[in-house]
Amino acid sequence: MVIRDKMSLLRTYNLMNVNQMQLTKSLTRIVTGMKINSAQDNPSAYSISESLRTRIRSLEQAELNTENGFNMIKTAEDAAANILDILKTLKTKALDAANDSNTDENRRVMQKEFKSLVEQIDSGARTTFNGIALVDDSATVLVLINSGDRNFSFQIGADAEDKIEITLGDVRAKALGLSDELNISTKKDADAAIKIIDDAINKVAERQTTIGTFLSSLGYISDNLETQSENLQLSDSVYREADIASEIVDFVNLSLYIAAVTKKFTHINQKFLFNDEKF
């Protein structure tokens, strides 16, 4: 590096300032690991990266929605399973009462337990998730389809139309055909109860099939959302992440250059700043 006159000195000084700014940017990229830290670094790449990041955050929220939806419907599935267990117990009681080895007095005793079990069905049907009733018609924030059936919609994507819906069938006692008159107090009543309970078991099993299929779909959707998010993050890294090895080389070269210029300036005759002398 040779500085022969005042103009050469000024050009060298200005070039050193430019390199000093480049050095600062290089250091920032090394520290953050990002080659784009603001829009001025690369406006077009920054815009694309921000668009990708918006999509990624949307997909992450959609995945969270899917997980919450899964947990919500799984709660309904567990409630239906408990009700099915109660129905199985009710059937065994009805079968017992239909047997001639029991007297009507025996059946009246069985009826008390039978009635209590029917009441437990309604208790299970009133299951809630996050304060939301899943099938009982006491909640007003849900869409009433018919009886106590409920329609739920879940946002499972980054776009407005990315929704999935399910209708949870009413599993309260009356909706299953278990009226207040149902009893096993006599052999005739017990025989009739067996058929009614069988129908109720089929209804709950059908609802469980619907729920199971829906939960399976949510599982696939969740996996797909995770894959989409990961792929977009890889694309974003192409725009954002710095080549640290290359940045370190640039940083060292710039540092050496600035150090050399600075050293040269310290040896310049201070009179040069005020005279037209040449070296």
- pLDDT digits (tens), the chain, 279 positions: 544 556 666 666 677 777 777 767 777 777 777 777 777 777 888 899 899 999 999 999 999 999 999 999 999 999 999 999 999 999 999 999 999 999 989 999 999 999 999 999 988 888 889 988 886 554 332 333 334 678 899 999 999 999 999 988 888 898 899 988 899 999 999 999 999 999 999 999 999 999 999 999 999 999 999 999 999 999 988 887 766 777 777 777 777 777 777 766 666 545 455 455 544
Which residues make Cβ contacts (< 8 Å) with residue 244, sequence separation at least 6? 30, 33
Residue 222 CB neighbour total at 10 angstroms: 19
Distance between CA atoms of residues 219 and 161, nearest Å: 19
Fold of 68-238: f41 fragment of flagellin, N-terminal domain (1.20.1330)
- Burial level of 171, CB count in 10 A (0-12/13-18/19+)? buried
Q: Where are the beta strands (DSSP E) in the chain?
A: 128-129, 132-133, 143-144, 150-155, 163-168
| 43 Ramachandran zone, left/alpha/beta (phi>0; psi -120 to 50) | alpha
| C-alpha of 57 from chain center | 10
Distance between CA atoms of residues 64 and 47, nearest Å: 26
Domain boundaries, the chain: 6-35+241-273, 68-238
**pTM recorded for the entire structure:** 0.72
